[in-house]
Amino acid sequence: MFRNRYKLIVSIIIIILLLLGNVYAVPYIRLIINGQQVYTDVPPQIVNGTTLVPIRVISETLGAKVNWDGDTQTVTVDMPQYTLEARTVEYFWDVYSNNIENVQEPKLDNSVSPELKTLLSKAYELLKQKAPQVYEFVCAYILEIQEAPLDKSIAAVTDTATHIVTFNSSYTKQAINFPGTLGVEVIATTLAHEAYHESSVCTGTYNTAVDNKTIEALAYAFEYGVAKQLGVSQDYFNWIKTQIINNLN
């Protein structure tokens, strides 16, 4: 359920054809996936006017798993269905909404500063207005919110045993001064991201076979869908996108 897959059986020729047009004169073909240059063991090459690229690098960059079965001479590509556009909040909601019973707003611990309190109440308002299902989702899966100093690269962490989300105090103190509505947007999508982690554990769909980076990519993919619903600033939207791509690399 978490990683609905569809299988593509590809012929033994481990290539895919990219319709790149006339690039005969280029001595080295650059391969760019999702805006980032990707290096391959075997460089892309032109054979009889067609540009050939190893399928493994393309597939794995996009989050798929590639297997080669020598006995049957078959290449299997397992493509998880969470491409940026496909993995929408609506899809996620369909899967998870049955498990939601408790929609109480998370309890605020004494450690929560007035700054964070302000940001949180604005974030809840934003969610209620633009993404009411996500608001319910956050309420259902996050029991309590705390605030503490964390590593500076982290906005918040969730403890899936206690269902407590801890926001980074040094970060939220800056967030209140972020330009425009950015501070509120960051808090709102971070809540969604952490609730996503909670939900995947609570509903037993947490896949231990998947590495941490893939789990992060999924959480950011969900956050991306929420950000889209909220209509966050373009810069922040692009930042979330970058997180998905970085975690898939």
By CB under 5 A, name the binding residues for Zn ion: 219
Residue 79's SS3 state is strand
User: Which CB contacts under 8 angstroms, 24+ apart, belong to 111-115?
Assistant: 111/146, 111/147, 111/148, 112/145, 112/146, 112/147, 112/167, 113/147, 113/169, 113/172, 113/173, 115/172, 115/173, 115/175, 115/176
Spatial strand order in the sheet of 74-80: 5-10, 74-80, 65-69
Closest to Zn ion by CB, 127 vs 219, is 219
Give the nearest distance from C-beta 172 to Zn ion in angstroms. Answer: 17
Give the nearest distance from C-beta 219 to Zn ion in angstroms. Answer: 4
Closest to Zn ion by CB, 192 vs 219, is 219
Give the nearest distance from C-beta 106 to Zn ion in angstroms. Answer: 17
Rounded to an integer, what distance in angstroms lies between the CA atom of residue 163 and that of residue 153? Answer: 21
Give the nearest distance from C-beta 193 to Zn ion in angstroms. Answer: 6
Rounded to an integer, what distance in angstroms lies between the CA atom of residue 153 and that of residue 171? Answer: 9
Closest to Zn ion by CB, 31 vs 191, is 191
Question: Which residue sits closest to Zn ion, CB atoms considered?
Answer: 219
Give the nearest distance from C-beta 220 to Zn ion in angstroms. Answer: 7
Closest to Zn ion by CB, 78 vs 159, is 159
Closest to Zn ion by CB, 124 vs 196, is 196
